[in-house]
Structure 1
């Protein structure tokens, strides 16, 4: 899946339109790394999922019902203390990165207005949900990170929050000009064309680079040194077209699936994929369907794998018993002689002296 910075921009645009000015009415934590905010906005109730799960980190509006633990986790209690019944006054994305900042206004115990920020970092296994004050001092986080876990950045109560350094270029920046033509001057001939995008530009997943290469008509098997000047020009134009779509909010919502499961979702059309395309009215819907269908499929695979493992174990044990029984049957011809000798020894035990290693009997 490709929950990259471009998808994040689409999601942020959607939730801004629906949740800005809304009131957080309920906060729950259905699992270790998931938070659900119930928000009342413009006469409607919404559920916003914030997930910091390693392989499923995301933000999206959800219709799914989550079961909550009987005893709320500590981070839930912290959030309830600081932002429950609070108002969402802003939702922004940091550049085109997978970092979303919720600015929240609430009233403290003394009746004073206070400002907090809830920062969601969608970064694979480093994903996190962090509550900070208006000066970016960490109040708490769903994953605490100490210096033993990371020597670069700690996420602990009382520590100053720092954004992760990013030396990539943001194509949505007003002064952006580091395009394909400038990049071309620094690329080696051995560079793989589709990889230049996610290595150079913030928010690009590998699949976006593959799509742009496909649209430009560049053979995915060749290196950069074999790309013609006309192909580079087309690629540069495509980059600026994508930039305009992102800036102007002209992004859509798609999933791509085979007969079994959804393989990809994205907010730009992935015409290079040989999968069935389905469009949605919102990005949240496509993300929700991706995880719901794939999770069900994965659960079935897990059950299947578990059952096959049990069956194979039973087969192994049964074969072992069969081998033992077969060996016993082979030894059956010797049993009668052994029984006779045993009976003779038992009947003449009085003739056997201590230390005898043999005896002759009738």
Structure 2
């Protein structure tokens, strides 16, 4: 999600309510492009984190502290000299720009009261923190931008501060209906793109939301709509942005299961497939969203080696399986060679010497058949040659049938580990998967004196009717849940013919309500390779009907009688327990 002008407006509003008239007691610079300000207000103390990192620029209130370097950087020392102990007298956003101004009142060296601006620009790779005097001159910045680096604006001490207007965008809070229509119709591009390229602070997601609220197709150019329809769009545009003028924000995060997909300061009604969780503070939204995203990213990065092992194993086995299938196809004619041998024994006695074919009646099909003969061999030798071909292909078929099944089982097994890696949320999950791959011979075991015990539990949910449901996060947990934890009358769920988790519902001898069956099936659908599908077929059966095949891989089961249902994979309304 873009850190757009609406999110910045919400953030500026929150900071104004909490930090206005607060005094800056501490200034730290934990990273080269990051500040951490401690502000004491009349109510309590706040920590304000400001990052101008090119990949992840952020501004938010946080409760967490960060260690600072032993020697403070020059920019930090400059701020301490000027505004340490200063009072924040104003926090504002120019237009709907991704910029926040902090106006700070302090005493100078002579004891006179003066004001300075700390300006935070949240603009992707152009993000910066700029310190200016009350005349609009730059005193210093956390990143210096010279004329060689940018032809648009220099950010250097002594230069005039201004906001570069490179995109010629219009302030959406002051635009009239006529200007609105003129800007959109003047751009031969999809409607949503025309909106976010014409108006300041509007992100692509917000543009899609405005089109959705107006009931208009965002992919159609504005020129194809009439003036009345564009007026209707302008009305929805104004209504949606009126929350900024009225200071009525409702920050929230949109989750796909446990994974945060988007965040916003205003509701996004077109995200119907995601679950919205509302928060009291936009700072809490930003901190939660980015910390959760970074955790997921970190786990995915740490799983790269395991994914490489699994992917290599899958590619090798799939190539092997394709080759085996081709070889198996070559044995399809084995029965024909057996019949040829029998027919030569039956009709070959009156065959002329040196004949190249034998024309005879196939008494199995009651049709005439032409059998190729080796003219240098007797009929008996030709018969034996065909029987030898039949026996060879029969042995090949029997051996390949076994090998094909083993290879297919190995592919299915590796796909189940791939799904487990997709489910993994913690380092313990990865450690357990690594142990399974080691046990299976895909990773060489490193022998150490100290053996680390992996303490990892399956996911635990409770149904709306109060029944406990458990989800295995990998094959080892699936094995433990199904064959050691569950008892005979508990119910077992799994996505049909798809790698995924075993789901166990503890019944304690009760007959389960239909709603619990449906919720358990949704868990089985979500924690499978079919996650995100609207229709997933789920097999479910009492645990006593589930057996483990001899020599089967971890998590492999067989069952011969079962029930099935088709359900979606939405688990947003199912309560998860610790």
Report the TM-score range of the alignment, normalised by the length of the smaller protein: 0.7 to 0.9
CA contact (8 A) 2:152 2:164 kept: no
CA contact (8 A) 2:128 2:143 kept: yes
Larger Rg computed on CA atoms: 2
CA contact (8 A) 1:180 1:235 kept: no
Q: Deviations over 1:300-342 (max 9, x none)?
A: 12222256569999xxxxxxxxxxxxxxxxxxxxxxxxxxxxx
Equivalent-residue separation in structure 2 for 1:286 and 1:207 (angstroms) = 17
CA contact (8 A) 1:255 1:262 kept: yes
Equivalent-residue separation in structure 2 for 1:86 and 1:310 (angstroms) = 57
CA contact (8 A) 2:107 2:114 kept: yes
Once the two structures are TM-superposed, the CA of residue 50 in structure 1 deviates from its matched residue by 1.1
- Select the residue among 183, 188, 202 that pairs with 1:204: 202
- Select the residue among 181, 189, 192 that pairs with 2:190: 192
CA contact (8 A) 1:169 1:178 kept: no
Q: Deviations over 1:102-160 (max 9, x none)?
A: 11111123222222110111100000001111112221111111122112211112222
Equivalent-residue separation in structure 1 for 2:30 and 2:178 (angstroms) = 43
Once the two structures are TM-superposed, the CA of residue 24 in structure 1 deviates from its matched residue by 0.2
1:79 counterpart SS class: helix
Q: 1:269 to 1:135 in 2, by over 3 A?
A: same
Equivalent-residue separation in structure 2 for 1:239 and 1:86 (angstroms) = 39
1:136 counterpart SS class: coil
State the match for 1:336 in structure 2: none
Q: 1:33 to 1:240 in 2, by over 3 A?
A: same
Q: 1:232 to 1:66 in 2, by over 3 A?
A: same
Equivalent-residue separation in structure 1 for 2:242 and 2:116 (angstroms) = 32
State the match for 1:253 in structure 2: 251
State the match for 2:172 in structure 1: 171
CA contact (8 A) 1:95 1:170 kept: yes
Once the two structures are TM-superposed, the CA of residue 196 in structure 1 deviates from its matched residue by 1.5
Alignment of 1:77-156 (within 5 A): 77-156=77-156
- Select the residue among 263, 267, 270 that pairs with 1:269: 267
CA contact (8 A) 2:99 2:122 kept: yes
State the match for 1:297 in structure 2: 296
2:48 counterpart SS class: strand
1:289 counterpart SS class: helix
CA contact (8 A) 2:177 2:234 kept: no
Q: Deviations over 1:29-76 (max 9, x none)?
A: 121211111101123101111111112212211122322222222211
State the match for 1:340 in structure 2: none
List runs of 5+ in structure 2 lacking aligned partners.
Answer: 313-578
Equivalent-residue separation in structure 2 for 1:225 and 1:164 (angstroms) = 29
Equivalent-residue separation in structure 2 for 1:308 and 1:69 (angstroms) = 37
Q: Deviations over 1:177-236 (max 9, x none)?
A: 455444455344xx2011121111111011111111111112344343444666434312
CA contact (8 A) 2:100 2:121 kept: yes
Equivalent-residue separation in structure 2 for 1:142 and 1:49 (angstroms) = 14
CA contact (8 A) 1:2 1:266 kept: no
State the match for 2:60 in structure 1: 60
Give the TM-score taking structure 2 as reference length: 0.51
Aligned residues: 311
Equivalent-residue separation in structure 2 for 1:210 and 1:135 (angstroms) = 40
Q: Deviations over 1:252-277 (max 9, x none)?
A: 10111213521111111111122111
Q: 1:109 to 1:297 in 2, by over 3 A?
A: same
1:36 counterpart SS class: strand
Give the TM-score taking structure 1 as reference length: 0.80
Q: Deviations over 1:240-294 (max 9, x none)?
A: 1123221111221011121352111111111112211111112111111111111
List runs of 5+ in structure 1 lacking aligned partners.
Answer: 314-362
Equivalent-residue separation in structure 1 for 2:219 and 2:209 (angstroms) = 14
- Select the residue among 213, 216, 224 that pairs with 2:214: 216
Task: Give the stretch that moved more between structures: 128-137 or 295-304.
Answer: 295-304
Task: Give the stretch that moved more between structures: 298-307 or 20-29.
Answer: 298-307
Task: Give the stretch that moved more between structures: 3-12 or 234-243.
Answer: 234-243
2:46 counterpart SS class: strand
Equivalent-residue separation in structure 2 for 1:36 and 1:229 (angstroms) = 50
Equivalent-residue separation in structure 1 for 2:163 and 2:227 (angstroms) = 38
